[in-house]
Structure 1
Amino acid sequence: MPSLLPLLAMAVLSGATAPLNDPASAVDALMQDYAGHVPGASVLVLRDGEPLLRRGYGMADLEAGIAATPATNYRLASVTKQFTAASILLLAEDGALSLDDPVRRWLPSLPPAADAVTLRQLLSHTSGLVDYEDHVPAGFQGQLRDADVLRILEGQDRTYFTPGSEYRYSNSGYALLALVVGKASGRDFARFLHERIFQPLGMDHTVAHQDGIDTVSDRAYGHSRADGSASGDWTRTDQSQTSAVLGDGGIYSSIDDLARWDAALYDDRLLQLQSRALMFSPATPTGEPDVPHYGFGWRLNGDSAWHSGESIGFRNVIVRWPAQRLTVIVLSNRNEPEPYPLALAISKMFRAPAP
């Protein structure tokens, strides 16, 4: 996005954090490449639970000419992980499981190499379990489900490292956590999410999507550049072989529903204080300079907690500054660019000056 690079660089790299006189117009300028008949985005800025900016840009469905709005539901991809983590924490509060349970207590078909792996390690990406994406059986047709991930891992009697000794981001771990939620709660993962998180919070249009079982209202469809270049035509790329795995990335939601989720992270309406503290406490160092720690479903970087979501045709991010009660959410139905720098640039327009 050449036209935006200078503005992005100024906003992100500048030491100034004073709000702009007309931040909405400045955000519109940042989002200009999402406007028009192109795959779009929805953007939300919240302070103290109130929307400071709430916008849709471009198209949710390019082929049908349906515009993106604040109610548009995007595939969250790995932003889903915070909901998977919350599900495990809710069950821990219920006494249905312990974070230090061996995963094989709940999924005994895993091989002996997983003996030492705990739920806590799955949550913090320190299990060392192999990446299921690298071991999809040759000739596998259709889409993988969470149960397929378990079957793949049943044949991998090894780990990348001694469980608990290192950090390695793992979609495998979160797919297994979804299955643990099902075992410990006695209901499937999608139903648990609906009954224990989405319905109580009024996230009425959010769903862990299962094709043929539910529908996604106001759905955004993912797109990528046809030739992989910055100037190619857009083509629909909405689903991949792994898009139906729920625990690591299968939720669809909107900025309006995510505002309700954000609000619940400040008080006891969903999770107890101790559980929220665990979510946002540094569970493990990552060794990554830009994201020094990981909690449970959240990347932690100084005064902010955030997570991105990357899937074929979708790029999303939620960034929270709890001390300022400020949150920026950017959901998009295109394969590029990554929205984290964009969210930081937007935040600069609304954040209070540094003391």
Structure 2
Amino acid sequence: MLKRVIIASLLTLTANTSFSQNFNHQRLDSLFNILEAKDKYMGSIAVSQNGKTLYTRAIGYSDIESSLKADTKTKYKIGSISKMFTAALILKAVEENKLSLDQTIDKYYPQIPNANKITITQLLRHRSGIHNFTNDKAYMTYNTQAKSEKEMIEIIAGPKSDFEPDTQSEYSNSNYVVLSYILQKLYGKPYADILKTKITTPAGLTSTYFGGKTDLRKNESYSYRFNDKWTKETETDPSIPMGAGTIVSTPANLTTFIEKLFAGKIVSDRSLDSMKTFNGTFGMGMFKLPYFEKYCYGHTGGIDGFQSVLVYFPEEKLSVALTSNGLIYANNDILLCALSCYFNRPFEIPTFKTVELKPEELDQFLGNYASTQIPLKIQIKKIGNKLFGQATGQSSFPLEAISANTFQFETAGVVIEFNTEKKQMTLKQKGQVFLFTKE
């Protein structure tokens, strides 16, 4: 649910591509082998085509403290991929004539600003204007505590609207928490039961369910963040994100879900068309992402230290799911590798070669940097013998030296090059370049 990278990036490339039916297992094995050897990633992947598994693997630990290794059946919290399930549940309720996409939400929550103008469709497409509660600093003070529906609605209804309904698109977890509560009112059951009855049981998703406190006996995983060493993350209480980010699953179950969704076995073809129709940036519970001249549909997710991604290419009936409980190397790059193995595109396996700089050599880079290109300042600081960056309002991130004046933060695909003579640094991320000057 939370974005903790400097600049959000999507799968963006441009060129012609050729298709190969011979999946390159060796390349993906090579990537996972070095990620495991260098301790850069913990998680699991599944690649499937039309119901047939092309590749699956898990590396790392579900619990580092007890040295419990993960396997391909280990379950991870999938964060905002949960929204695809919630959108499908809402559309199933529409198919059952329990509500209309055009009805406003004042029937359920009149205390929410503009409730008499906000429709179910606008919630699904992030066009409601309801403020995103996870953007507020206060969120991290209560996210591990159980909250009732009444308490969560008070939190969501407190701020003014960010914009008039349907005038723009802006991602808000609040939309899908509200949708979760509406589902409970429609069916008179907890969200967990609705999910099980309407989707997971009929689809045979035995490893997918509404999550709770991590239970290693169920082969569930803790999540971790790396800051010189892997540190276990706190756990967001499931009552906070609800259907916006609480579901637990495996990559294999996720590929099954999205394949059945696009085969018309979860919702009707008409409902699926609604999910795939975009008004502004967002469809209903899904994004549309480019890969060369092709497009895929899916969603990403992040909650605590978990990061996940699920995509589907309709023409090829190809699906890829990644679930991570700790990463330094970005999911996006692993996804690009997996797709290159299918579409026969080049991909360079990283070597993770770094250089050692003396603590005093790092001092020349320290300071506060600002850019005229984006409203973001970055502080470069030293903790012990390591360089760290911290963007405005965000957590600090470690920087590894790859040359005398070049550093990287692999988790976000960030490379920073310093020019000490000009008192400048250049930040590069996924093809974007930003110049910062020391204040």
Question: When the two structures are superposed, what TM-score results if normalisation uses the length of structure 2?
Answer: 0.68
1:308 aligns with 2:300: yes
Contact kept, 8 Å, 1:82 with 1:296, in 2: the verdict is yes
2:280 aligned with 1:285, yes or no?
yes
Question: What displacement does 1:66 show?
Answer: 2.0
Report the CA distance shift for 1:270/1:240 in structure 2 as closer, same or farther (over 3 A).
closer
Q: 2:258 corresponds to which residue?
A: 262
Q: Which residue of 1 aligns with 2:222?
A: 221
C-alpha contact 1:37 1:59 (8 A) present in aligned 2: no
Report SS of the residue matched to 1:239. coil
How far residue 112 of structure 1 moved from its aligned partner, in angstroms, is 4.3
Partner of 1:209: 211
Task: Determine which structure has greater relative contact order: mean sequence separation of CA pairs < 8 Å that are 6+ residues apart, divided by chain length.
Answer: 1
Q: Which residue of 1 aligns with 2:324?
A: 332
8 Å Cα contact 1:321-1:327 kept in structure 2: yes
Give the number of equivalent residue pairs: 327
Q: Residues 149 and 172 of structure 1 are in contact (CA less than 8 Å); yes or no, is this contact kept in structure 2? A: no
Aligned partner (choices 176, 182, 189) of residue 187 of structure 1:
189
Q: Does 1:154 align with 2:157?
A: yes
TM-score by length of 1: 0.84
Q: 2:143, 2:236 within 8 Å by CA — same for their partners in 1?
A: no
Distance 1:22 1:89, change over 3 A: closer
SS in 1 for 2:280: strand
Partner of residue 95, structure 2: 93
**Post-superposition offset of 1:68:** 1.8
Q: Please identify, of 300-309 and 94-103, the stretch whose mean Cα deviation from structure 2 is larger.
A: 300-309
2:310 is matched with 318
Identity %, equivalent residues: 26
| Letter paired with 1:24 | H
Cα contact 1:198–1:206 (8 A) shared by 2 = yes
Counterpart residue identity of residue 154, structure 1: A
**Which stretch has the larger CA shift, 114-123 or 131-140?**
131-140
Question: 2: CA distance between counterparts of 1:179 and 1:304?
Answer: 30
**Structure 1: segments with no counterpart, 5+ residues:** 1-10, 287-293
Question: Counterparts in 2 of 1:140-151, with a 5 A limit?
Answer: 140=142, 142-145=144-147, 147=149, 148-151=151-154
| Letter paired with 1:81 | K
Distance 1:142 1:300, change over 3 A: closer
Q: Distance in 2 between matches of 1:47 and 1:312?
A: 30
Amino acid of the residue matched to residue 285 of structure 1? G
Q: Larger % of strand: which?
A: 2
The answer to whether the Cα contact below 8 Å between 1:129 and 1:173 also exists between their aligned partners in 2 is yes
Say if 2:144 and 2:234, in contact at 8 Å, map to a contact too: no
Deviations 1:253-286, CA, capped at 9 Å, x for gaps = 012222321231132322111011111122x222
How well do the aligned residues superpose, as a CA RMSD in angstroms?
2.7
Secondary structure of the equivalent of 2:323? Answer: strand
Counterpart contact for 1:19–1:348, Cα < 8 Å: no
Residue 142 of structure 1 and its aligned partner are, at CA, apart by 4.3
* Residue type at the aligned position of 1:111: I
Does the 8 Å contact 1:107/1:180 carry over to 2?
Answer: no
1:117 counterpart SS class: coil
Mapped to 1, the partners of 2:116 and 2:311 lie a distance apart of: 35
Structure 2 CA distance, aligned partners of 1:45 and 1:236?
Answer: 28
